[in-house]
Amino acid sequence: MNVQFIDLKAQYQSIRNEIDSAIQEVIDNLAFAGGPFVLQFEKEFAPFCQSPNAIGVGSGTEALWLALKALGIGDGDEVITVPNTFIATAEAISFCGATPVFVDVDSKTYTMDPEKLEDYLKIRSRESGIPRHLKTVIPVHLYGQMADMDPIMETAKAYGLFVVEDACQAHGAEYKGRRAGSIGDAGCFSFYPGKNLGAYGEAGAVVTRDPVMDEKIRTLRDHGQSTRYYHKTIGWNARMDGFQGAVLNVKLRHLATWNEARIRNARIYDELLSDLLDVITPSRADYARHVFHIYAIRVKGRDELIAHLKSKDIHCAIHYPVPLHLQEAYGFMGLEKGTFPVSEACAEEIVSLPMFAELTEDQMRFVVNGIKDFIKKRRDT
């Protein structure tokens, strides 16, 4: 049996007629850059996120960057986030001219630890008072589960900080009934093809309750113009293209069903792995509706396990093998191994198992049997 990490072809086959028709409609209308299909997606995605505004952009990275720019983040500022995330979170901070500041993650959810955030801010406050250039917190909703937002929001408010949700892996995830992206000053989404809601190329979106922020991002994404050829600020070309808007319009109609399938598959994995004490399965916080963009287990001998599964034609992934504070790109920060122990443990032990809506129970049993075979062989030696 062959088990892919994600099977985009199976998803396409299930909605092929809808997708093909939508793409042809873009061609027929010559609506390639922005335009009515992007506008329609924005109108549908905003209420899905329980937000009044959604702005389609070119990628999740641009969504994060433009949200920070709209909040006025710039040279010399600092933005607090976590090291256990994809580098785009930190890149967006850096490309504003700001510097990322890291706090470690919770040992169960792998998302920002609210206590560590508060401790960091208390220490900064005691040392010299919170500096004016410390402006924003970016909690990352990782693997499909939201960070613990209430205490994060309370702490941010107490210290006068903005909150931008990195919801790039959390389409449809919920925190106490509130959708990802709807709680902070802005929520940022990626529609990279492998996401729960994935485009057929690069695309992203920002959602916000703030009409001023909405207008700023719309201007920034389109060369700083609100009227064609009249540029009131220096912007960028960060528009979503028409094909992606059309594809996302189709896929958004199926997202709830696909998320439920992922949740079902996660339960099956949980049951199949329940007797393996060597494996730590994903934790679901009491506050969360986890939509399982990633089903990540922790296990000793992670690299050997992945090699063993690959030999059986089972394809896994690692999210993420090197935490951001240890990446060469951020070596200038001088942060050594041991600085953020939970993130570092995740980097050494995480294995992302195959997870997609069309995954069958037989495929999951095959994956888990491969894991059991590996653990048995390791014990025997």
Instruction: Assess whether 155 and 293 both reside in one domain.
Output: no
| 1 occurs within a structural domain | no
**Looking at the predicted structure, is the pLDDT value of residue 81 above 90?**
yes
Instruction: Name the helix (H) or strand (E) containing 226.
Output: strand 225-227
**What CATH number is attached to the domain comprising 88?**
3.40.640.10
* Non-local CB neighbours of 60 within 8 Å, separated by 6+ positions: 88, 168, 188, 189, 190, 191, 192, 204
Q: Which of 252, 287, 313 represents a domain boundary (last residue)? A: 252
Helix (H, G, I), strand (E, B) or coil at 173: coil
Question: How many domains would you assign to the chain?
Answer: 2
Residue-wise pLDDT for 337-347, tens only, equals 999 999 999 99
Instruction: Assess whether 215 and 350 both reside in one domain.
Output: no
Instruction: Assess whether 245 and 289 both reside in one domain.
Output: no
pLDDT at site 130: 80
* Cβ count within 10 A of residue 381: 5
Cα gap 365→354, rounded to integer Å? 11
**Looking at the predicted structure, is the pLDDT value of residue 128 above 90?**
no
Instruction: Assess whether 226 and 271 both reside in one domain.
Output: no
| 108 occurs within a structural domain | no
Residue-wise pLDDT for 23-48, tens only, equals 999 999 999 999 999 999 999 999 99
| 15 occurs within a structural domain | yes
| 230 occurs within a structural domain | yes
Confidence of residue 127 (pLDDT cuts 50, 70, 90): confident
| 358 occurs within a structural domain | yes
User: Residue 159, preceding bond cis, omega within 30 degrees?
Assistant: no
| 3 occurs within a structural domain | no
Percent of the chain scoring above 90 in pLDDT: 96
Instruction: Assess whether 271 and 210 both reside in one domain.
Output: no
Instruction: Assess whether 96 and 233 both reside in one domain.
Output: yes
| Domain, as residue range, for 303 | 255-380
Instruction: Assess whether 325 and 374 both reside in one domain.
Output: yes
User: Residue 320, preceding bond cis, omega within 30 degrees?
Assistant: yes
Structure tokens at 14: 């299930």
Instruction: Assess whether 17 and 36 both reside in one domain.
Output: yes
Closest CA to 165 of 333, 291, 49: 49
Contact 170, 184 (CB under 8 A): no
pLDDT at site 236: 97
Instruction: Assess whether 90 and 147 both reside in one domain.
Output: yes
Instruction: Assess whether 229 and 243 both reside in one domain.
Output: yes
Radius of gyration of the chain (CA): 21
Amino acid at 215: E
The three-state DSSP-derived secondary structure of 201-218 is CCCEEEEECCHHHHHHHH
**Looking at the predicted structure, is the pLDDT value of residue 321 above 90?**
yes
Residue with tokens 């690299």: 303
How would DSSP label each residue in 158-200? HTT-EEEEE-TT-TT-EETTEETTSSSSEEEEE--TTSSS--S
pLDDT at site 132: 86
Contact 31, 37 (CB under 8 A): yes
**What CATH number is attached to the domain comprising 326?**
3.90.1150.10
How many angstroms from the chain centroid is the CA of residue 378? 34
* Non-local CB neighbours of 21 within 8 Å, separated by 6+ positions: none
Helix (H, G, I), strand (E, B) or coil at 13: helix
**Looking at the predicted structure, is the pLDDT value of residue 161 above 90?**
yes
Q: Which of 252, 270, 300 represents a domain boundary (last residue)? A: 252
Instruction: Assess whether 140 and 236 both reside in one domain.
Output: yes
| 107 occurs within a structural domain | no
- Across the chain, mean pLDDT equals 97
Q: Which of 252, 274, 290 represents a domain boundary (last residue)? A: 252
Mean pLDDT of the 277-303 span: 97
| 155 occurs within a structural domain | yes
Q: HSE on the CB side for 251, CA within 13 Å?
A: 26
Structure tokens at 240: 């979503």
Residue-wise pLDDT for 176-218, tens only, equals 999 999 999 999 999 999 999 999 999 999 999 999 999 999 9
Instruction: Assess whether 302 and 167 both reside in one domain.
Output: no
pTM over 0.95: yes
